């Protein structure tokens, strides 16, 4: 047993008695050329590999588009059972830990205090977690599922085998549509984030190991995590993070430029998308240089205020009573259909389980190093139970409210004869729905601003996370490295959009999410081992 001085983001030392020998890893910055610390091979391997993919997408866009167009459906159709089963494991583990005595363990030691207030903490959790996705899919996904379940017969390819029977029944189709939407934005994605974040926080704050994905696996691989075994884990985490983030940035760019076209007739072209991504990347660079507290935290809080105002507006001027009662009705529908929706075997609803759920789970898994590490960095001082309840339950409840307000309003308008909502392109459905409400020019502009600021906070916090991984777990690596990765994220999003569009971004996310899911399942075992060796708070 050794005494290890914990390296925490605020620089305070906390000596923790631990069973983990930390080996010869070095978590102090070593400044090299251009003010960068790149002695860790993960940096060179990750940057080199990603540059090759960017070059391929830009040099051979037609070939790249065809390849990515083949890749995503191939992976999701062959491994849908694996993605669904993995998602279930993360949810079950999180719920078990909440109820178990291990929930009393405090991240950072028994005397640790939280670094952020609940307000600041929740703002950063939500902005980093899925802000862009909620803006893009908040209207479009409930409409899509409602339309499919209402139109499909029990024997059609679109039918949801475990859920058949809604064809022609608008009430049941609405319940199914909302339940399926909440399924994709509720417990499962947040459980993936929570498990990764909890493991990172535990091994960094309680065990004194670097804040890096490889540290999670010390109970399994021992000192090998400081060698090529660890390098391989961190490199895969970088690829997963970057492509998962690029997918979200691509979605945000598609919706933002569609909204600008909707309001100001700005043309939707590849050039306009590149200009938009470049401009937002510049804003992200400014936030990166400002730092975590002055940059990400402040932007996250601004975005949270705007999101709450837009949500409140929709609730007040929309079908208020239907939204209020719909929250609980949708929650019950979600819980009722959860076993069928999450069932990984015997599915014949390929359009839903493969086209939607498999992609989502791969996307969340590929995002998990980014969101998990970011959540870990701002969650020191929380108990395991408090951490999991807040990260798992509360954001899920907010997601249900958001989908109920936006998706429920859109469905009510659709049932009232506003067919243009259903026929609009995915990226325009939000703005088409807002057009049916008062002050639609102002609310649509707020929606665009929200997408852009979510874009900036995702790029900003993503660069912080990738920089931490490639620097071997250093939370105080040189600023030029964060600038490099923030710039790189924008380049990847541009390259993949030009080399295959949104499908290419989604394919890249799925391709890295699959192997990383295997890594995370192994990490669940390591997390339990680490928790069982910890003293518990009274």
> Sorting pLDDT into bands at 50, 70 and 90, what band is 441?
very high
pLDDT value of position 513: 87
Nearest to residue 277, comparing CAs of 48, 509, 53, 488?
Answer: 488
Average pLDDT on 128-135 reads 70
Average pLDDT on 385-393 reads 90
> Residue 70 and residue 287: Cα distance in Å, rounded?
37
> Residue 273 and residue 280: Cα distance in Å, rounded?
11
User: Taking 80 as the threshold, does the pLDDT of residue 414 lie above it?
Assistant: yes
> Sorting pLDDT into bands at 50, 70 and 90, what band is 10?
very low
User: Taking 70 as the threshold, does the pLDDT of residue 127 lie above it?
Assistant: no
> Sorting pLDDT into bands at 50, 70 and 90, what band is 151?
low
* pLDDT tens digits, one per residue of 86-112: 999 999 999 999 999 999 999 988 888
pLDDT value of position 11: 35
> Sorting pLDDT into bands at 50, 70 and 90, what band is 451?
confident
Q: Which residue has the higher pLDDT, 78 or 54?
A: 78
Backbone angles phi, psi at 360, to 5 degrees: -55, -50
CA atoms in the 13 A half-sphere facing the CB of 243: 32
Average pLDDT on 533-538 reads 68
pLDDT value of position 461: 74
Nearest to residue 378, comparing CAs of 109, 115, 10?
Answer: 115
8 Å CB contact between 287 and 455? no
8 Å CB contact between 182 and 403? yes
Nearest to residue 178, comparing CAs of 344, 414, 438, 384?
Answer: 414
CATH number for the domain spanning 275: value is 1.20.1740
Q: Say if 150 falls within a structural domain.
A: no
What three-state secondary structure class fits 155? coil
Nearest to residue 526, comparing CAs of 194, 198, 101, 84?
Answer: 198
Average pLDDT on 2-25 reads 39
- The helix or strand, by DSSP H or E, that contains position 6, with its residue range, turns out to be strand 2-7
Residue 339's domain comprises 110-144+173-532
pLDDT value of position 296: 60
Number of domains making up the chain: 1
Residue carrying the six token digits 């974040």: 197
Q: Which of 27-36, 114-123, 242-251 has the lowest mean pLDDT?
A: 27-36
pLDDT value of position 470: 81
% of the chain with per-residue pLDDT over 70: 83
pLDDT value of position 144: 87
Average pLDDT on 42-53 reads 85
CA atoms in the 13 A half-sphere facing the CB of 385: 11
Q: Which of 294-298, 361-365, 416-420 has the lowest mean pLDDT?
A: 294-298
User: Taking 90 as the threshold, does the pLDDT of residue 85 lie above it?
Assistant: yes
> Sorting pLDDT into bands at 50, 70 and 90, what band is 500?
low
8 Å CB contact between 190 and 129? yes
Nearest to residue 19, comparing CAs of 289, 206, 205?
Answer: 206
> Residue 499 and residue 505: Cα distance in Å, rounded?
9
When the pLDDT of each residue in the chain is averaged and rounded to a whole number, the result is 81
| CA-angle at 450, arms to 449 and 455, nearest 5° | 95
Q: Say if 469 falls within a structural domain.
A: yes
Burial code of 136-156, b = ≥16 C-beta within 10 A, e = fewer? bbbbbbbbbbbbbbbebeeee
Instruction: Give the torsion sign (CA, 122, 452, 311, 421).
Output: negative
pLDDT value of position 153: 45
Q: Say if 189 falls within a structural domain.
A: yes
Q: Which of 41-55, 170-184, 209-223 has the lowest mean pLDDT?
A: 41-55
Average pLDDT on 449-453 reads 84
Q: Which of 23-37, 46-60, 301-315 has the lowest mean pLDDT?
A: 23-37
> Residue 18 and residue 4: Cα distance in Å, rounded?
7
Q: 10 Å Cβ neighbour count for 380?
A: 26
> Residue 295 and residue 492: Cα distance in Å, rounded?
23
Q: Say if 96 falls within a structural domain.
A: no
Most confident of 10-24, 429-443, 475-489: 429-443
* pLDDT tens digits, one per residue of 272-318: 888 888 888 888 787 777 765 555 667 767 777 888 899 999 999 99
How does DSSP assign 485-517, residue by residue? HHHHHHHHHHHHHHTTHHHHHHHHHHHHHHHHH
pLDDT value of position 311: 93
Q: Say if 154 falls within a structural domain.
A: no
> Sorting pLDDT into bands at 50, 70 and 90, what band is 135?
confident
Q: Which residue has the higher pLDDT, 398 or 473?
A: 398
8 Å CB contact between 527 and 202? yes
Q: Say if 31 falls within a structural domain.
A: no
Instruction: Give the torsion sign (CA, 228, 234, 237, 243).
Output: negative
Q: What contacts 417, CB < 8 A, 6 or more positions away? A: none
Q: Say if 262 falls within a structural domain.
A: yes
> Residue 405 and residue 392: Cα distance in Å, rounded?
20
Q: Say if 57 falls within a structural domain.
A: no
């Amino acid at each position: 047993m050794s005494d290890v001085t914990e390296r925490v983001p605020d620089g305070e030392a906390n000596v923790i008695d631990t069973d983990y020998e930390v080996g010869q890893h070095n978590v102090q910055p070593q400044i090299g050329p251009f003010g960068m610390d790149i002695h860790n091979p993960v940096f060179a391997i990750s940057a080199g590999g990603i540059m090759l993919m960017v070059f391929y997408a830009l040099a051979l866009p037609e070939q790249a588009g065809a390849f990515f167009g083949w890749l995503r459906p191939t992976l999701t159709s062959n491994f849908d059972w694996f993605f669904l089963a993995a998602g279930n494991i993360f949810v079950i583990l999180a719920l078990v830990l909440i109820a178990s005595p291990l929930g009393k363990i405090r991240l950072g030691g028994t005397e640790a205090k939280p670094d952020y207030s609940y307000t600041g903490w929740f703002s950063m959790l939500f902005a980093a977690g899925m802000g862009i996705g909620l803006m893009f899919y908040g209207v479009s996904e409930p409409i899509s599922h409602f339309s499919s379940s209402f139109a499909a017969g029990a024997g059609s390819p679109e039918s949801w085998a475990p859920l058949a029977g809604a064809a022609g029944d608008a009430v049941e189709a609405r319940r199914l549509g909302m339940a399926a939407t909440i399924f994709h934005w509720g417990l499962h994605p947040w459980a993936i984030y929570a498990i990764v974040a909890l493991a990172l926080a535990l091994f960094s704050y309680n065990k004194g190991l670097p804040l890096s994905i490889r540290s999670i696996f010390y109970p399994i691989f021992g000192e090998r995590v400081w060698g090529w075994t660890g390098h391989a884990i961190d490199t895969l985490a970088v690829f997963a993070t970057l492509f998962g983030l690029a997918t979200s940035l691509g979605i945000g760019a598609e919706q933002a430029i569609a909204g600008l076209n909707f309001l100001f007739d700005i043309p939707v072209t590849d050039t306009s998308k590149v200009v938009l991504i470049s401009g937002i990347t510049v804003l992200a660079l400014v936030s990166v240089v400002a730092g975590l507290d002055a940059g990400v935290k402040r932007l996250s809080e601004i975005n949270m205020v705007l999101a709450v105002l837009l949500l409140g507006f929709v609730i007040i001027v929309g079908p208020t009573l239907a939204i209020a009662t719909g929250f609980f009705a949708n929650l019950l529908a979600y819980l009722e259909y959860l076993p069928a929706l999450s069932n990984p075997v015997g599915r014949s609803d390929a359009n839903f389980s493969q086209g939607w759920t498999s992609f989502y789970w791969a996307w969340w898994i590929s995002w998990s190093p980014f969101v998990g590490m970011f959540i870990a960095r701002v969650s020191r001082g929380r108990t395991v139970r408090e951490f999991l309840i807040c990260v798992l339950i509360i954001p899920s409840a907010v997601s249900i409210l958001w989908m109920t307000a936006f998706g429920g309003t859109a469905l009510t308008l659709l049932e009232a004869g506003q067919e243009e909502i259903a026929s609009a392109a995915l990226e325009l459905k939000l703005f088409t729905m807002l057009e049916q409400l008062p002050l639609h020019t102002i609310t649509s502009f707020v929606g665009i601003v929200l997408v852009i600021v979510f874009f900036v906070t995702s790029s900003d916090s993503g660069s912080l996370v990738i920089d931490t991984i490639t620097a071997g777990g250093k939370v105080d690596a040189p600023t030029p490295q964060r600038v490099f990765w923030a710039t790189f994220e924008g380049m990847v999003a541009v390259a993949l959009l030009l080399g295959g569009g949104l499908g290419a971004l989604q394919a890249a996310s799925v391709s890295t999410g699959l192997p990383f899911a295997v890594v995370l399942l192994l990490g669940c075992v390591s997390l339990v081992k680490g928790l069982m060796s910890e003293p518990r708070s009274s």
